[in-house]
Structure formats: C-alpha cells, structure tokens
C-alpha cells in the first residue's frame, strides 16, 4: 500500500506532466496549477505564488521545450528553464520538500559516440543550442539551491497526452504523404507512462535518490529508425494498412531547423536500472504498448 503524498506538478497539461498526473491522481493528492496561475516566464512572481501551496514533492515538468523557440528567445528560455526552477528549488529547500527537475539529453554537446552516463561532463563542453544551455543552467541552479533535488534527464518523449514524433510519422503515412526522417542523429525514445511509473518507484522506495539521473527506456534510435519502427508496429497493430518507405535524410541537408541539434545524445540508464532493481524495457516494446493503447482507448 503506497502512502499518499502531496504532489505539486508544473506543466501538468503537457506530454510528461499529463502522464504523471494521470498515474498519480488515484493515490496522491495532486496540485496542478496551470500556466495562467503560475507562469514560469515571470520568475519574480513565482516564489510568492508557491509559498501559499501545500506540498511535499514538486515535479517541475514545465518548460520552454522547442529548441527553435528558445533560439529565438534565449532570455525567455533562461527565465522559464533556469531562473524559475531555481526559485522553485529554493522554496523546496526552505520548507524541506523534495523536488524532481525534468531535464534533457540536449544538455550534451552530442559530439561523442558512446553511451552517456551521469558522469559524462555536460560542461565545459557547451550544449549546441539555447534550449540545451538554458536546461543545463536550470540543472545547475536547482542542484545549488536544494539539497533534496533529483534531476531526471529524459529524451525523445512519446505518450498519449500530447502528440509527438510517432504521431507525426503516422499522420503522414495515413495521409499518403512522403515520410522522411534524419538518419544521423541518435538518442533514446522514451515512454511518458514508463517515466511516470519509474519516478513513482523512486520517490516512494528511493526517497534519498538525488543528483543527476538518466531516465529513459533501453536501446538507441535515429529519427529514421524511430520512424521505421513506428510504422512497422502500426502496421502490425492495424493502425495502417500499408508500410510506406521512410526516406533517410542527413542532418546537414535538413533546412527546417533554426537551432542546431546535437548529433549523439544516447543516455545510459544503468544507474536508473540499479535504483529500480530491473532494466527498463526497450523503447520498441514501450512504443508497441503505447500504439496498442490507441486501439483500445
Ligand atoms: N518532449 C521531449 O521529447 C523532451 C525531450 C527531452 C526533455 N524534455 C523535457 O521534458 C519536460 C516536459 O516536456 P513535455 O514534452 O511534456 O513538454 P510539453 O508537452 O510542451 O509541456 C510543457 C508544459 O509546460 C507548460 N509551460 C510552458 N511554458 C510555461 C510557463 N512559462 N509557465 C508555466 N508553464 C509553462 C506547458 O503549459 P501549456 O499547456 O500552457 O503550454 C505544458 O504544460 C521539459 O522539461 C522538457 O525540457 C522533453
């Protein structure tokens, strides 16, 4: 029997925050203020609003997450992704609450080619875009402000709460449009439902877990192999009737980005596996569950 906690989630209307809120609402008391109540773009106002709330765990899922939007507004990205998280962490420290700060594989520069552990330096190598720099600044700020903070780095999220890459690929396939994806960029697609379950295990059974932690499914993909696997699973499950080819693209020939993207950011989940007592399932099997869930929902 899990003892219920008072959990405050920012970004609960988003892809990850939505998954956490769905899973935790049955067992815990949830506090999920919307952006109109708590706007992280206004760090000066955050402390006063949060001081009145009653919680023992804060999970900060809110963020400015589009690399291109951050590139166009680097100061805004810093306010949302670093300055306000620092205020939230200081408030957690003041009242003795725990905090989980959601971060990203984009804190790495992407220049290596082997699995990235928590010990791999994100700095002094500099993230390649304003999004990564703001998220790295956010990590450093919350770790400095609060002794009970876990920084959970996640990558390439998919889940039912907000559309993501598999939805885009499926929509193109269903519309009979060409499907193309970048084949020279690597990371780990990760299920938001799995993250919800792992984090709950950690805050219930491993309350002392703190510092950096890579929180992702097992395996590795390029956007191209991610697209191919999505469509193959969709065919198997009956979401599409034909398997379209996926045209491989090279990152340097792709002109649709304002911000540069890091090339290789696959994270090792060995430390997470140690804490959970089991290896997280592969991203392929998590994706199969997610796509099959659409048929039954
Ligand atoms: N998506 C990925 O593939 C990915 C990969 C690596 C790391 N991450 C990290 O995972 C976390 C969650 O990402 P996600 O995919 O769930 O993002 P998302 O679906 O875009 O959701 C972001 C959430 O943050 C809220 N938000 C945005 N700006 C805000 C502001 N100024 N004040 C308060 N709330 C604000 C949004 O509210 P509205 O509904 O009002 O917009 C939404 O609830 C982020 O920290 C992100 O950096 C994501």
Domain assignment of residue 26, yes or no: yes
Mean pLDDT of 232-245: 96
| Pick from 59, 281, 297, 100: nearest CA to 191 | 281
Ligand 1 geometric centre to CA of 243 (Å) = 32
What range defines the domain where residue 61 resides? 6-163+188-219+267-281
Closest protein CA for atom 26 of ligand 1: 62
Confidence (pLDDT) at 11? 98
Helix and strand element counts for the chain (H, E): 11, 12
Q: Ligand 1: residues whose CB is within 6 Å?
A: 10-11, 13-17, 35, 38-41, 61-65, 80, 102, 104, 135, 154-157, 162
pLDDT in tens, 157-195: 999 999 999 999 999 999 999 999 999 999 999 999 999
Domain assignment of residue 260, yes or no: no
DSSP per-residue codes, 88-108: HHHHHHHHT-EEEEEEEGGGS
| Pick from 186, 116, 187, 106: nearest CA to 139 | 106
Domain assignment of residue 297, yes or no: no
Give the CATH number, domain containing residue 98: 3.40.50.720
Query: Which is the closest atom of ligand 1 to the Cα of 131?
Result: 47
Domain assignment of residue 214, yes or no: yes
Query: Which is the closest atom of ligand 1 to the Cα of 158?
Result: 3
Domain assignment of residue 171, yes or no: no
Confidence (pLDDT) at 85? 98
Can you give the pTM of this predicted structure? 0.97
Domain count, the chain: 1
Q: Is the pLDDT of residue 297 over 60?
A: no
């Amino acid at each position: 029997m899990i003892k219920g906690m008072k959990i405050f989630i920012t970004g609960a209307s988003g892809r990850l925050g939505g998954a956490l809120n769905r899973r935790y609402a049955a067992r815990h008391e949830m506090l999920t203020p919307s952006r109109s109540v708590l706007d992280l773009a206004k760090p000066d106002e955050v402390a006063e609003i949060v001081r009145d709330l009653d919680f023992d765990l804060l999970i900060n899922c809110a963020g400015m997450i589009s690399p291109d939007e951050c590139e166009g507004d680097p100061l805004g990205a810093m306010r949302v992704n670093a300055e306000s998280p620092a205020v939230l962490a200081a408030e957690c420290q003041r009242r003795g609450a725990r905090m989980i700060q959601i971060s990203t594989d984009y804190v790495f520069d992407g220049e290596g080619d082997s699995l990235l552990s928590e010990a791999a330096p994100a700095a002094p190598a500099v993230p390649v875009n304003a999004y990564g720099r703001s998220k790295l600044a956010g990590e450093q700020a919350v770790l400095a402000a609060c002794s009970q903070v876990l920084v959970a780095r996640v990558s390439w999220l998919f889940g039912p709460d907000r559309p993501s890459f598999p939805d885009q690929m499926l929509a193109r396939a269903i519309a009979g449009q060409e499907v193309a994806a970048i084949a020279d960029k690597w990371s780990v697609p990760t299920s938001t439902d799995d993250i919800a379950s792992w984090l709950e295990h950690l805050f219930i059974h491993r309350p002392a877990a703190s510092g950096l932690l890579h929180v992702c499914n097992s395996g590795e993909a390029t956007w191209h192999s991610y697209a191919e696997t999505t469509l193959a699973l969709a065919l198997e499950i009956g979401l599409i009737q034909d398997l379209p080819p996926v045209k491989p693209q090279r990152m340097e020939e792709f002109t649709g980005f304002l911000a540069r993207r890091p090339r290789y950011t696959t994270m090792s989940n060995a430390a997470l596996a140690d804490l959970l007592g089991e290896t997280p399932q592969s991203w392929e099997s998590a994706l199969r569950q997610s796509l099959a869930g659409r048929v039954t929902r």
